[in-house]
Amino acid sequence: MKTNLSFNKLGLVMVLFFSTFIFSCTKEMPVDGPESDLTLKSVAIPQPDDMVCDLIAGQTINVGQVVYSHVGTNLLVEYVTTGGWILSEVHFYIGNMANFMATCMNKDAIQIGKFPYSASNLNGTTHSFSVPLPIPAPDGGYMVVAHAVVKKVADGLVVQKETAFAKCTYKPIILLKSEFEWTNNEGTLIKDFAFTDGDFNYPVGTACVRFGINYYVNPDEYMLQRLAWPDGVGKVNVSDDGEELTVVVTLSKEGAVLTKSYLFVGSQKDLDKLTFTCPDYARFPYLTPSIVTSTTHTFKIPIPMQNSISFNTLPSNRWGWYSIFNL
């Protein structure tokens, strides 16, 4: 993919060096498994063209989103509040860890006021920064921190005020098509197929077979559905251990065996690139090799480094999160 926005789920911290300049705080796959599992197609792991992160106030209150997007040679950072929350201030840091520790830390406190991008006296629900980036990016990516002060107003008075940070979590789209075979009562071999259930985002009446689009946040189970059988023909279980996403397809139709499975894991923008009227499952990035006859197919997919790291990993008494951005 042409753009990578990566965030480290396990707290991996890398000291990053810029080859052309350093931002300052003072202004400015193949994965080949055993046949019992699968072999992936020889393609890059899908990465989102943008990353939508939750804006968390008071450590627990979701007050909106922060969206990181690659636009040309710039990083576009967009703050959007919801639920009646209003932005008062925003502060944004991008740079390397060493520079952050040297210039934005005072003993064990993070100095929000020294972040290179900031705006105050705001009174709306959106604000954005466009940040020029060097090409190519340094190995490992950039440390990014999005901070805001948000408020609620009633009768012209501020009734609640909170500090907030962007927290990014791994939320990919999951789509799957499986092909299977079974023998009917007359002894005829039937070749059939089924899909994950979920949201259906395509025009009714098109030739599109009804893929179900699911949005993974926590371990979940989806029905493997065939339109002729409303109770489905199996299930799809999705979970992760922080490093790998595991997708297990289990066929429950008596006497049937799976022959091939096609799996999409990625963002909506990734999926749009594989969609004309309908998703092109033949181009999905993950599939079982040739024909794997079994009642289960298992996919193990490395999770992109795209989650936030708690400030507790730094010598800091401030709560919040930072992330690693990789262009």
- Is it the case that residue 131 has pLDDT exceeding 50? yes
Per cent of the chain over pLDDT 90 is 38
CATH code 2.60.40 region(s) in the chain: 50-169+305-325
Top mean-pLDDT range of 71-75, 147-151, 192-196, 241-245: 147-151
- Is it the case that residue 205 has pLDDT exceeding 80? no
Question: In sequence order, which residues have a C-beta less than 8 Å from that of residue 272 and are 6 or more positions away?
Answer: none
142-197 confidence digits (pLDDT tens): 889 999 999 999 998 999 999 999 998 778 889 999 999 988 888 899 898 899 98
* Confidence grade of residue 27 (pLDDT, cut at 50, 70, 90): very low
Per cent of the chain over pLDDT 70 is 76
Give residue 178's identity as a one-letter amino acid code: S
Spatial CA neighbour of 150 closest among 223, 217, 76, 58? 58
What would the DSSP string read from start to end of 115-168? Answer: SSEEE-S--BSEEEEEEE--SSPPTT-EEEEEEEEEEEEETTEEEEEEEEEEE-
50-169+305-325 CATH pick, 3.30.70, 1.10.3470, 2.60.40, 1.20.1440: 2.60.40
- Is it the case that residue 85 has pLDDT exceeding 50? yes
Q: 61 or 316, which is more confident? A: 61
- Please indicate, yes or no, whether the overall pTM of this predicted structure exceeds 0.75: no
35-55 confidence digits (pLDDT tens): 333 333 323 333 445 678 899
